[in-house]
Amino acid sequence: TPESMDGGSKLERLFAHPLYNIQTPVLMPEERLLEAEQLIKYYKKKVSRWERHMKTYSKALNWSNVTVAAHEVTYDPDASWVKFYLGINRYALYSREDPTILQLLKDLQSMTVVNADYTQDEKALKGACDCSQVVKPSGHHLKLALKMRNLAKVMYKPMRQQRDDETPEDVFYFVDFQRHNAEIASFHLDRILDFRRVPPVAGRQLNITGEVLHVTHNEDLRSVFFTSPANNTCFFAKCLYMCKTEYAVCGSPNHLEGSMSAYLPSLSMAPRVSIPNPWTRSYTFTGRQEWEDNPFYCDTVKQQPPYNSGNRLLNIIDMSIFDFLTGNMDRHHYEIFSNFGDEGFLLHLDNARGFGKHSHDEMSILAPLTQCCIIKRSTLLRLQLLAQSAFSLSDVMRESLQSDPLHPILTEPHISALDRRLHKVLSAVQQCVRRLGEDEVITNDFIKPTVNP
């Protein structure tokens, strides 16, 4: 590999760098999202409910001729997802050196699927389907909730586009495809940026007949499966198919790659709030938002709670840098855990609309940074580090993505676009510093700056 040629893995060296090894404060119990006891109780309840359900379900099945593969579930208090949940704290979704994340990624890639169903937001629509809607609610998009043998819950988004397909120039951000590889790449990028705000995602070749059709107990889901003229198994998102906006996705003949994202703890255990992004877009063909026309928009935002104190605005700027690097224009809301209050980190969920165009840098995504002209020192130092050739962002991303079974996840043009965009972020910061001075722009966060290597 090219990494070994210049002396070992760049990714390893990056994570070994002092900037990535700053000690975080010892966590107080209230700084963790979940208590172990509570989670174990929840898990046990789930297992017994599943067993009860399977009993009644298999009885009901005796009268029908549907083939359903019955899978045993296991109760495993050391399961990777349990550890992942317990590790969530007020600073990040997981800690840097946590081995459970690697285990969780492995489980996502290989563990037996015991059940498949529609996601909650699709079910919430209750089949309502308004074909005239220009912006379809997120529930309309094709994604499935899968249960693994150890009752880990996973969101599966199937492949919709080839790796080298780009979003056509005439397509608006709100009608763009959801890309499974963008979900995977976003997780790796977020980890390399040391944000750790994206739940673990792994790629997987799913057998949609064996691992979806034959394990679902949902009659509706079963009814959207069919065999194509080329003898492939296909299924579709009911509403989008009915509106003839999307065709089905098809395996070849059964295998279909997709992204497997670990679910976050259920809302009953760890409630979250969804907050509109102050730099949201209009989601119409012609409308413009205030921030698109008013260069002083940030001044108004800065005066409004919760952006007038603490880290919230800085977190928004982290998020905008993350989205700019991926080219994701579809960040209308962000979520935080209610438990951590306004000081909690922002979750970077739903990144499937990133990595659509490698030849275009959408500068408007950076508006929060260019308008507010502030950035966390820790973020800036890491960005500067990743701009150095010894740790270049494209190289570490390439290396990191190689660990995924579906690699190559991103085509070369997408990977090299990351470097180009990183430089644009840094020059945006530079311009701010030139205009306002370093003290105004660079905010010291909880990490003490260390010596630059």
Partner 1 sequence: MSIRMILFRKFRLLILMVFLVACTMHIMIDLLPKLEKRGAESADGGCQCAQHPGSDAQGWGKQRTRSGAEAEAGWPNKHTLRILQDFSNEPSSNLSSHSLEKMTGAGDRVEQLRRSGPSEDHKPLIGHQSRARIISTRGGSRLSALYEHPLYKVDLPVLTDDDTLFNVNTDISFYTKATGNQDWHNEDEEEFSPTADIPAESYPHWLRFHIGINRYELYSRHSPVLDALLKDLVNQRITSVAMKSGGTQLKLIMTFQNNGQALFKPMKQTREQETPPDFFYFSDFERHNAEIAAFHLDRILDFRRVPPVAGRLVNMTKEIRDVTRDKKLWRTFFISPANNVCFYGECSYYCSTEHALCGKPDQIEGSLAAFLPDLTLAKRKTWRNPWRRSYHKRKKAEWEVDPDYCDEVKQTPPYDRGSRLLDIMDMTIFDFLMGNMDRHHYETFEKFGNNTFIIHLDNGRGFGKHSHDELSILVPLNQCCRVRKSTFLRLQLLAKEEYQLSVLMEESLLRDRLSPVLIQPHLQAMDRRLRLVLQVLSGCIDKEGYVNVVEEDVVRDSATHRGPRHR
Q: Does 172 bind partner 1 (CB under 8 A)?
A: yes
Instruction: Provide the strand spans (E) within 35-169.
Output: 113-118, 144-148, 153-158
Q: What sign does the dihedral 353-355-247-219 (CA atoms) show? A: negative
Site string for partner 1, 378-407 (x = CB under 8 A): ------------------------------
Q: Does 169 bind partner 1 (CB under 8 A)?
A: yes
Considering the candidates 176, 323, 330, 404, report the single residue annotated as catalytic: 330
229, 276, 287, 305: residue in contact with partner 1 (rule CB under 8 A): 229
Nearest Cα residue to 159 out of 349, 404, 352: 352
Other beta carbons within 10 angstroms of residue 49's beta carbon come to 11
Q: Does 219 bind partner 1 (CB under 8 A)?
A: no
Nearest Cα residue to 349 out of 259, 237, 263, 258: 263
33, 114, 206, 250: residue in contact with partner 1 (rule CB under 8 A): 250
Q: Does 65 bind partner 1 (CB under 8 A)?
A: no
Q: Does 293 bind partner 1 (CB under 8 A)?
A: no
Catalytic residue flag (residue 330): yes
* Phi, psi angle pair for 123, to nearest 5°: -65, -35
Nearest residue (CB) to partner 1, 171 versus 436: 171
Stretch that binds partner 1, among 40-48, 247-255, 269-277, 401-409 (CB under 8 A): 247-255
Residues 208, 47, 60, CA angle at the centre, nearest 5°? 65
Alpha-carbon distance of 205 to 255, in angstroms, equals: 6
Q: Enumerate residues 6+ apart whose C-beta is below 8 A from 22.
A: 378, 447, 448, 450
Nearest residue (CB) to partner 1, 182 versus 248: 248
Nearest distance, CB of residue 440 and partner 1, angstroms? 34
Q: Does 66 bind partner 1 (CB under 8 A)?
A: no
Stretch that binds partner 1, among 56-64, 170-178, 190-198, 437-445 (CB under 8 A): 170-178
Other beta carbons within 10 angstroms of residue 357's beta carbon come to 18
Residues 330, 176 contacting (CB under 8 angstroms): yes
Q: Does 104 bind partner 1 (CB under 8 A)?
A: no
Alpha-carbon distance of 372 to 294, in angstroms, equals: 12
Q: Does 228 bind partner 1 (CB under 8 A)?
A: yes
226, 403, 435, 436: residue in contact with partner 1 (rule CB under 8 A): 226
Residues 270, 33 contacting (CB under 8 angstroms): yes
Binding site for partner 1 (CB under 8 A): 131, 134, 169-173, 175, 226-230, 232, 234, 243-248, 250, 285-286
Annotated catalytic residues are 330
